[in-house]
Amino acid sequence: MHRAGAAQPSFRVPAETTRAARSFFLSRWRAAVGFSEKGYAVVAVSAPGALPPLHPLHAILLAFPFPLFLGALLSDVAYGRSFELQWANFSSWLIAGGLLVGAFAVIWALVDLLRGGRAHRGRLALYFAVLLAMWVLGFINALVHAKDAWATMPEGLYLSVVTTVLAVAAAWMGYSRSRPGKAT
| DSSP sequence for the chain | ---TTSPPPP----HHHHHHHHHHHHHHHHHHHT--SS---------TTPPPPPPHHHHHHHHTHHHHHHHHHHHHHHHHHH--HHHHHHHHHHHHHHHHHHHHHHHHHHHHHHHS-GGGHHHHHHHHHHHHHHHHHHHHHHHHHTS-GGGSTTHHHHHHHHHHHHHHHHHHHHHTSPPTT---
- Give me the number of domains the chain comprises: 2
Model pLDDT, residue 119: 72
Model pLDDT, residue 184: 40
> Do 60 and 40 have their domain in common?
no
Domain with 111, as residue range(s), is 56-175
> Do 61 and 114 have their domain in common?
yes
Domain assignment of residue 154, yes or no: yes
For residue 154, say if its preceding peptide bond is cis, omega within 30 degrees of 0.
Answer: yes
> Do 39 and 68 have their domain in common?
no
Question: Could you tell me the pTM of the whole model?
Answer: 0.69
Model pLDDT, residue 26: 62
Model pLDDT, residue 183: 45
Are residues 8 and 2 in contact, defined by beta-carbon separation less than 8 angstroms? yes
Model pLDDT, residue 33: 57
Q: Give pLDDT < 50 ranges for the chain.
A: 10-11, 13, 44-46, 178, 181-184
